Structure 1
Amino acid sequence: MDWASILEPSLPVAELVVRGSVLFLGLTFILRLTGQRESGALALTDLLVIVLLAEAVSHAFAPDSTSVTDGLILVVTILAWSVVLDALAYKFPSVRKILKPSKRPLIENGQLNKRLMRREFMSRQEIEAQLRLQGIENLDQVKYAFMEPNGMISAFRKNGGEADPTPQPPAS
């Protein structure tokens, strides 16, 4: 077994850090532009996109790399940037607005926010389905509903109560 080929970096450490940084920050920016809905809970197609993105950029991280150390340097770089961006968003509200989505009004007094729906590519049927999962049968029952940073919808009834936070099975 050739320990040197396994443990010695096949590329300069600085190049690995730059590659990892550029790709992580670039993908973070691109994914931030896709909207809140895309950043929420993972569906099967979302998981597929992540796997394909990982495969698509893997060779850009370290072309022809066979060293375990190369992989570890890239992992540390990506994790470091993740922590740095989270810390910046936590400490500086102006940075948070750029890096992290905020809640956005989706329904006000039973009226849909068409602009947000277009931005997030949401149909009325999709919104109604999410509301039904929270025990709301009609848009007229909704005082406010928000698209949350995780892509989920939170709703508040006109009668002052919050919608059921957990999906309820239909009554038979």
Structure 2
Amino acid sequence: MFAVETPPLELVLRGLVIYLVLLLLMRVVGQREAGGLGLTDVLIVVLIAQSVGGGLIGDSQSITDAALLATTILFCSVAVDAAAYRFPRFAALVKARPRLLIEDGRLNRRVLKREFMTADEVRSHLRLHGIEELEGVRIAYLEPNGMISVLTADGGTPQAASKPPLA
């Protein structure tokens, strides 16, 4: 049950490669799909669940293998965050930034196209902030967590977007 079935270096390398590949793929796909969680949060949840799954049910790897792989993935997450904190150029590669979605009532079509959003979807999000018309928006950003933050043209702060009711 506790025997190491796979060489430890192989587990560490597998964890490192999978983490970096998935991080890159999630950055390419875009930030809109992540919802309220940050991209790295989603990445960690998926990787940890997959890495320890076999160890929990005992069909493909030992508990020790799963623990080492999960530790490697968590270490990668911390290392990427630390490197992004210390090296701004690296942060620009691995951390999502807010994207300018609306400026002075005009939609940024490049961002819409990049994030596969329609103008109707943006208007729907604005209504959640209590804004009926694009002209009422001075500036709006698509935030890294997928939410839209809005500053109104009149200088006021719109109401907070409401959260969907729990089922």
TM over 0.5: yes
The alignment status of 1:113 with 2:98, answered yes or no, reads: no
1:1-172 equivalence runs, <5 A: 6-41=1-36, 65-167=60-162
Alignment size in residue pairs: 152
Structure 2 counterpart SS, 1:117: helix
Structure 2 counterpart SS, 1:73: helix
Give the counterpart letter for 1:14 in structure 2: L
Structure 2 counterpart SS, 1:129: helix
Q: CA RMSD in A?
A: 2.5
What is the distance in 2 between the residues matched to 1:121 and 1:166?
A: 21
Query: Which structure's CA Rg is the greater one?
Result: 1
Give the counterpart letter for 1:155 in structure 2: V
- 1:101 to partner: Cα distance: 1.1
Once the two structures are superposed, residues 86-106 of structure 1 have per-residue CA deviations (whole angstroms, 9 ceiling, x without a partner) of 111111111111111111110
What is the distance in 2 between the residues matched to 1:24 and 1:104?
A: 25
The TM-score, its normalising length taken from structure 1, stands at 0.80
What is the distance in 1 between the residues matched to 2:97 and 2:113?
A: 17
Q: 1:39–1:151: 8 Å Cα contact kept in structure 2?
A: yes
Which sections of structure 2, spanning at least 5 residues, go unmatched? none
Give the counterpart letter for 2:122 in structure 1: I
Structure 1 counterpart SS, 2:121: helix
Q: 1:157–1:163: 8 Å Cα contact kept in structure 2?
A: yes
The TM-score, its normalising length taken from structure 2, stands at 0.82
